[in-house]
Chain A
Amino acid sequence: MALLETKEMAMQFGGLRAVDNFEISINKHELVGLIGPNGAGKTTIFNMLTGVYEPTEGSIILDGKDVTGKKPYEIVKFGAARTFQNIRLFKDLTVIDNIKIAYHNEMKYSTLEGIFRLKRYWKEEKKAHQECLDFLKIFDMEDYAETLAKNLPYGKQRKLEIARALATNPKILMLDEPAAGMNPQETHELMETIHFIRDKFDIAILLIEHDMHLVMGICERIVVIDYGKIIAKGTPDEIKNNPDVIRVYLGE
């Protein structure tokens, strides 16, 4: 059974049909790319999948449960995490605190236990601190643990945002233009990171990207949309030779 599945999902903004009849099905451990020209509705789809918008029609099934119309924080608990097109870190907090916030729901102590620092507070905080450090180690960022997030170099900020999303323990990770603003060297590193996390955490990944090199290089399947409608689906090779895709991207 598919991990994430949408059925006839649509989004209507007043008179504008931003997304129409969108159907996608992503299996476990799959790497799927979502591409399309500017304004095609990619981010709108992301926002529907992560609960920022409620689809006006259709439904979203995540890991066998209907999550249509759920709030973003609830969808996180069902196992979908995301990053943003323009990086959204907790800029004035340290790198490790950024991770710890995503770790919030893994800790269970109550407000009063936290205020009076009872046994469970110390136990869970200590455990969380260690696990967050281990997490940073996976991303080679343990030396930056006490650095403010805003002082990180750009590439590392992207990496931190991905790490933070993974700290919520997702089954599927959605990346919104992870390579935006990166140079070829950084993009290459990012490709390696994406491959690495998929194998390490055994998760499915859905990514929106403009960088064709990146998309063609790592995605197993690609979905192309234009004006809110799916115009092509298939492997990178099929997509490369699809006349509709060529028309949309290069013109007649």
Chain B
Amino acid sequence: MKQNTKKSYIFNISSIILLFVLMKILMSANILTKYYTGIVIFICINIILAASLNLATGYLGQLALGHAGFMAVGAYASAITAIAIKPSIVEFCSTLPEGIKFLINPATVILLTSLIVAGIIAGLVGIAIGIPALRLRGDYLGIITLGFGEVIRVVINNIKPITGGAQGLSGIPRITTFNNVYWITVVVVAILYTLTHSRQGRAIISIREDEIAAEAVGIRTTKYKVMGFAIAAFFAGIGGGLYAHYIAFLDPNTFGFMRSVEILVIVVLGGMGSLTGSIIAAILLTILPEALRDFAEYRLLIYSGLLVIMMIFRPQGIFGTHEFSMSGFIHKLRHNQIISPRKEVKEGE
């Protein structure tokens, strides 16, 4: 068992590095032009947003329609922090001795600091909203989170001295690059994966399965609901921060209700409770609108048509609640199980 875990660790890490190297080669050969690199960065940001929402909606089972609100909090917090700390960090780095100067990239320091600030602030807002909102469930929770998402947007729109109001916030350092967004995405997804496979993750999943039963076996459901919601908000904040530092200009109206729906659609399409599903769906649903740019008028039509078809033929999403794993896939290929259904119980065995 332990041998297997080690093997799959090595396999996963090496394939992540391989993918990174491959992308870098394609970029330096200019096959991936600047335009395509931009799309890749958006894919990564969407993966972070969808994976974090999946924790709240897929694993915790709470319908949350205000994810763009947390993203907005993170984006503004990160942008404002970066603008504030940029001069001092650049100055500090220039005073470093030559020997270690090349080791520390001021842009990375600024990005990481402001992302952490963004995550923490978004997480705190998540706790503040989660404690009252999570008393409700189902549709009611959906409506109240939708409301809170809009409240956040309107508040940002109205505190002009800090956020620039409806005119938007400009002058944000443009420091999100493929290099850092890729590794941050890997770290975020890895953290969400290990979280959902720990005892705390099991507690979160048990709430989705049956809240009453979870409480009856000694799970503090309120605590884990708020915790799951706050962690989802934390990573949404980080996703928002990366977005802010890539676009370099923030307009509160980009974080409206439709943005939340877009993220939710990725989660639902990929499979609620499957991180790999969210990754695949984020890739598809980021590329698709770009590929359909020529048919701009029909874009939304095709987009929604695809969703309808998906809901009819595979309502649980691409992966359902399962994770795709390469080693599991190879194992199945070898044992020729790829067509036969998943391990179902043979009755009476």
Contacts and interface: CB of A to CB of B under 8 A. Distances in A.
B63 interface: no
Main secondary structure of the interface of B (DSSP, over half): helix
Interface stretch (A36-44, A84-92, A191-199, A213-221): A84-92
Interface residues of A, number: 45
Interface stretch (A8-16, A20-28, A54-62, A143-151): A143-151
Contact of A91 (B200, B209, B221, B344): B209
B347 A90 contact: no
B29 interface: no
A65 interface: no
Interface string B263-304: 000000000000000000000000000000000000000000
A101 B199 CA distance: 7
Contact of B209 (A72, A76, A93): A93
A158 interface: no
Given A84-B213, A104-B203, A147-B343, A92 B218 contact: no
B22 interface: no
Given A114-B194, A115-B191, A148-B345, 16 more contacts: A50-B216, A72-B215, A73-B218, A84-B216, A88-B212, A90-B213, A101-B203, A102-B217, A105-B218, A111-B198, A125-B198, A128-B199, A143-B349, A144-B345, A164-B217, A168-B218
A35 to B, nearest CB: 22
B259 interface: no
B51 to A, nearest CB: 14
B328 to A, nearest CB: 13
A114 B344 contact: no
A143 B343 CA distance: 13
Contacts of B345: 144, 147-148, 151-152
A182 interface: no
Contacts of A124: 199
Interface in A189-247: none
A117 interface: yes
Contact of A73 (B200, B215, B349): B215
28 contacts: A50-B216, A52-B212, A73-B215, A73-B219, A81-B217, A82-B216, A89-B210, A90-B206, A90-B209, A91-B209, A92-B321, A101-B202, A101-B205, A102-B218, A104-B199, A104-B218, A104-B219, A109-B198, A109-B199, A114-B195, A115-B198, A121-B198, A124-B199, A125-B198, A143-B349, A147-B343, A165-B216, A168-B218
B184 interface: no
A116 B194 contact: yes
A123 interface: no
B7 interface: no
Interface residues on B, range: 20 to 34
Nearest to B214: A101
Contacts of B142: none
The 8 closest A-B pairs by CB, nearest first: A114-B198, A76-B218, A90-B209, A88-B213, A102-B217, A151-B345, A72-B215, A101-B206
B199 A114 contact: yes
Nearest to A99: B217
Contacts of A93: 205-206, 209
A171 interface: no
A251 interface: no
A160 B198 CA distance: 22
A88 B215 CA distance: 11
B346 to A, nearest CB: 9
A100 interface: yes
Interface in B192-238: 194-195, 198-203, 205-206, 209-210, 212-221, 227
